[in-house]
Amino acid sequence: MKPISIIVIILTVGVFIFLKIFQDSIPKINEPITNIFVFVGFVIFAVIYGISRNRKK
């Protein structure tokens, strides 16, 4: 494995642990329309990120 991918894995696990520790203090979003906006924003980000990664290769 490349050193960069190992660093990304470690950072991802660290973020998950951080979120798990502070999960109770993070305010919950209960409105369905907001959840839809967050999901659509994530999908758009993922598509743009995937396209940019493919263009680099």
Profile the chain (57 residues) by mean pLDDT over runs of 10 residues: 75 83 70 78 88 78
Domain that includes residue 25, residue range:
6-56
Residue 1 lies in a domain: no
Q: Which pLDDT value is given to residue 12?
A: 85
Residue 12 lies in a domain: yes
CB atoms closer than 10 angstroms to residue 10: 10
From the list 16, 23, 38, the residue with the least C-alpha distance to 8 is 16
Q: Which pLDDT value is given to residue 2?
A: 65
Two tokens at 53? Answer: 């990664």
Count of domains for the chain = 1
pTM over 0.75, yes/no: no
Cα–Cα distances in angstroms (integers) from residue 24 to residues 3, 11, 31, 39, 50, in the given order: 34, 21, 18, 21, 32
Q: Which pLDDT value is given to residue 15?
A: 85
